[in-house]
């Protein structure tokens, strides 16, 4: 299904990345005050700079990056949001390159990038000082490295080593990536075991099975625990360096203890149908009425579900591994929130599942684009045009633009009452 005979679309992917970066940095410093969950993570970063423990229920890396950014750019909106902005841009590029290396299809990889850039969530989370985009960006870099290693006949040791480190650092930003790491490790090691049992050609032949275990399990765990290094030396409530199990029990207890109802909380069944939005911001600030709403692109999030069904069907019918991998990654990353013991959940937890959904939709767009007789090319192009058009329509309340109708401006975008 995915013969690698097309020209590398790197120039188009650079263009998409640069355009996305321009939109991310547009009004990045507005609002000029902390908003939504920035009120938790920026103070935690400031406490880390002073050598004090803070926000212990989450891993430390993303907060440490905010602290480092504050040291470089100052304790201001640019300093707070720079890590998310950079990792959002890097993560989009890495996602596109992973799609290219895994599929060999130019349209699939470029379309996937356009769809992810306009799925709303990737953009909004790239502009707020939270933990999610550091986690997701590092995860995409890891997947890019793994796809790059697997696309080479002899494999690539340094790519797999670096991917293992990136997976560990991603986990050190936020635990949401845990099922992605577990699924990737299970798929790669399972494929190696299957090849051994069947006497077939093994994947990543340059690495022994022992090296794969090191790269996909041992290295990520080691890198993850090292992200707690600043916490080992705090004067009080230090992270116990030799008791990771005990510390993680403490973290889980802290996360499970948050049970107070939040007006914007939601559950997985609402995420997949784009039912419940979060208003990160809606107030008069920086001289104008402004808003930032988190919801998925109303067109692509529903079209993506169709693509997911198509990916499962075509993967099994044709024996194509990439569609099935995207289905597995979507299911694993969503499954965490179905079975996880976290009483209060939000739509931003759908960030990773939504990313893999856009990957599946990108593959389906490529399928339409390359269909025999080119009879579906208008439909393939239409998917991208609609995604861009809906993104453009909602852009004012994704980017904290000036809303000209004052306090009633939000009515222009309330397609569902549940988005209010």
Evaluate whether residue 194 is within a structural domain. Answer: yes
Evaluate whether residue 235 is within a structural domain. Answer: no
**Measured CA distances, 219 to 62, 90, 222 (Å):** 19, 22, 5
Evaluate whether residue 175 is within a structural domain. Answer: yes
147 vs 155: CA distance, rounded Å: 10
List average pLDDT for each run of 10 residues in the chain, which is 420 residues long: 70 98 98 97 96 91 97 98 98 98 96 98 98 98 96 84 98 97 96 86 88 97 96 89 94 87 92 96 96 97 98 94 97 94 90 98 96 85 97 98 93 91
Query: Which domain covers residue 166, as residue numbers?
Result: 150-226
Count of Cβ atoms closer than 10 Å to residue 193 Cβ: 12
* 246 phi-psi bin (left φ>0, alpha ψ -120 to 50, beta other): alpha
359 vs 345: CA distance, rounded Å: 24
Reported as a single tens digit per residue, the pLDDT across 137-151 is 999 999 999 999 998
Evaluate whether residue 252 is within a structural domain. Answer: no
pLDDT value at residue 1 = 40
Evaluate whether residue 214 is within a structural domain. Answer: yes
φ/ψ of residue 129, rounded to 5: -80, 75
Evaluate whether residue 204 is within a structural domain. Answer: yes
- Number of structural domains, the chain? 1
Evaluate whether residue 54 is within a structural domain. Answer: no
Q: Which residues lie closer than 8 Å to 245 by C-beta, 6 or more apart?
A: none
pLDDT value at residue 3 = 45
> Omega into 146 within 30° of 0, i.e. cis?
no
pLDDT value at residue 2 = 43
pLDDT value at residue 5 = 61
pLDDT value at residue 125 = 98
Evaluate whether residue 210 is within a structural domain. Answer: yes
């Amino acid at each position: 299904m995915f013969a690698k005979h097309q020209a590398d679309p790197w120039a188009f992917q650079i263009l998409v990345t640069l355009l996305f970066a321009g939109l991310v940095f547009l009004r990045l410093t507005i609002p000029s005050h902390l908003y939504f969950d920035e009120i938790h993570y920026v103070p935690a970063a400031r406490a880390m700079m002073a050598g004090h423990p803070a926000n212990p229920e989450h891993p430390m890396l993303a907060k440490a990056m905010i602290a480092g950014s504050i040291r470089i750019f100052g304790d201001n909106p640019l300093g707070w949001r720079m890590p998310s902005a950079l990792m959002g841009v890097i993560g989009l590029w890495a996602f596109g390159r992973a799609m290219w290396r895994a599929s060999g299809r130019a349209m699939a990889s470029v379309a996937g990038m356009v769809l992810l850039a306009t799925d709303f969530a990737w953009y909004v989370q790239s502009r707020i000082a939270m933990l999610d985009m550091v986690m997701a960006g590092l995860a995409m870099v890891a997947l890019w490295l793994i796809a790059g290693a697997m696309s080479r006949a002899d494999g690539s040791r340094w790519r797999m080593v670096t991917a293992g480190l990136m997976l560990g650092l991603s986990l050190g930003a936020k635990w949401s990536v845990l099922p992605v790491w577990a699924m990737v490790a299970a798929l790669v090691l399972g494929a190696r075991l299957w090849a051994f049992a069947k006497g077939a050609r093994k994947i990543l032949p340059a690495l022994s099975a022992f090296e794969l275990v090191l790269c996909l399990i041992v290295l990520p765990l080691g890198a993850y625990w090292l992200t707690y290094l600043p916490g080992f030396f705090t004067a009080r409530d230090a992270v116990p360096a030799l008791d990771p199990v005990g510390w993680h029990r403490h973290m889980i207890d802290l996360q499970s203890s948050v049970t107070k109802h939040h007006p914007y909380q939601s559950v997985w069944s609402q995420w997949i149908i784009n039912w419940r939005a979060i208003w990160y911001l809606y107030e008069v600030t920086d001289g104008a009425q402004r808003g930032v709403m988190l919801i998925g692109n109303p067109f692509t999030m529903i079209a993506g579900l169709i693509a997911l069904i198509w990916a499962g069907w075509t993967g099994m019918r044709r024996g194509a591994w990439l569609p099935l991998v995207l289905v597995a990654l979507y299911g694993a990353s969503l499954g965490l929130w179905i079975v996880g013991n976290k009483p209060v959940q939000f739509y931003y937890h759908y960030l990773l599942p939504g990313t893999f959904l856009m990957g599946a939709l990108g593959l389906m767009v490529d399928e339409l684009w390359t269909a025999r007789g080119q009879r579906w090319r208008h439909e393939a192009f239409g998917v991208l045009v609609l995604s861009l058009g809906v993104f453009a329509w909602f852009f004012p309340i994704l980017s904290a633009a000036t809303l000209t109708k004052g306090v009633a401006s939000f009515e222009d975008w309330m397609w569902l009452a549940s988005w209010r």
